[in-house]
Amino acid sequence: MIHIAVCDDNIDELSNMVQLINLYRSSRHLNCEYAVFPNGFDLISALERGKQFDIYCLDIIMPGFSGLDVAKEIRTYDKTAPILFFTSSPEFALESYSVKAVNYVLKPISKEKFFFTFDEILEQINVKKKEDAVIVKSNEGIQKILISNLVFVEVIGRKVLYHLMSGKVVECTESFSSVCDNLLKYGCFIKTHRSYIVNMQYVDTINNREVILQTNSSVPIAQGKAREIKQQYLAYQMEDE
């Protein structure tokens, strides 16, 4: 499932983008959902509430909060998701590189132009998803851990332990905060406790004290955080449907 955010203050442009996305989705048999935002404030508010998107389509010239401002805010939540600028003005093309935008498309947006742009972006996303992994320096040397094989991570003292689906535990010495930063960007991880981060793909049961995983392992939930954990897990499941 690909999640797309579209932000434009012009209702006609928003409508046009929605039509193009629907045409593209039907033509390419793409499993995707989109959310439209009439201004940047609404989009950032959605991110603050924990919403995540795979692709951002932004107008640049918007009153109060420009597309470049929105993109800078997006980058505080997501360092890697593709940002596309669709705009009537060519003058901000150079600035778009400062937020690592992947494309700068001038309006009017034709079907051909839109399809070509999205074909390129989705090819990049598919390659990235096939390679989703973290590289760690363990006691055994440099190792590549596939995200799909990682069940949970815990920190004990100065040791960070990566628990894999196979039952193997990879031991490293690194900053747990940097581990969390690296993993949380994938969207399938949740920090249940200051010492634990869990891959929600492997959650079996969540109660008020712990998360039971499909491997029969369990990890604690920080006091007072159970409701938040349950809500985040439900949101994750709904996004994947």
Report the 10 Å Cβ neighbour count for 187: 17
Lowest-pLDDT range, 120-134, 190-204, 212-226? 120-134
What is the per-residue DSSP string for 149-215? GEEEEEEETTEEEEEETTS-EEEE-S-HHHHHHHHHTTSSEEEEETTEEEEGGGEEEE-SSEEEETT
- The label of the residue with tokens 């972006």 reads 121
Give dist(CA 56, CA 40) in Å, integer. Answer: 11
What is the model's pLDDT at position 187? 86
What is the per-residue DSSP string for 63-77? SSS-HHHHHHHHHHH
Buried b (16+ CB within 10 A) or exposed e, 224-238: eebeebeebbeebee
Intervals of CATH 2.40.50.1020 along the chain: 133-240
Q: In what order do the strands lie in the sheet with 141-146?
A: 141-146, 133-138, 169-172, 159-164, 150-156, 196-199, 189-193
Q: What angle do CA 231, 237, 239 make, to 5 degrees?
A: 100
Say if residues 59 and 69 touch (Cβ distance below 8 Å): no
Superfamily classification of domain 2-130: Response regulator (3.40.50.2300)
Q: Residue 99 — very low, low, confident or very high, per pLDDT cuts 50/70/90?
A: confident
Strands 103-106 and 32-37: unpaired
Segment 5-27 shows an average pLDDT of: 95
- Mean pLDDT over all residues of the chain? 89
For 40-96, write each residue's pLDDT tens digit. Answer: 999 999 998 888 899 999 999 898 889 999 999 998 888 888 999 988 877 766 676
Intervals of CATH 3.40.50.2300 along the chain: 2-130
Instruction: Give 39's DSSP letter.
Output: S
Better-predicted residue by pLDDT, 94 or 168: 168
**Nearest to 37, CA basis, from 8, 71, 74:** 8
Q: Residue 104 — very low, low, confident or very high, per pLDDT cuts 50/70/90?
A: confident
Q: Residue 128 — very low, low, confident or very high, per pLDDT cuts 50/70/90?
A: low
pTM: 0.55
What is the model's pLDDT at position 87? 85
Instruction: Give 87's DSSP letter.
Output: E
The CATH topology of domain 133-240 is OB fold (Dihydrolipoamide Acetyltransferase, E2P) (2.40.50)
What is the model's pLDDT at position 91? 75
pLDDT of 126 over the 80 cut: no
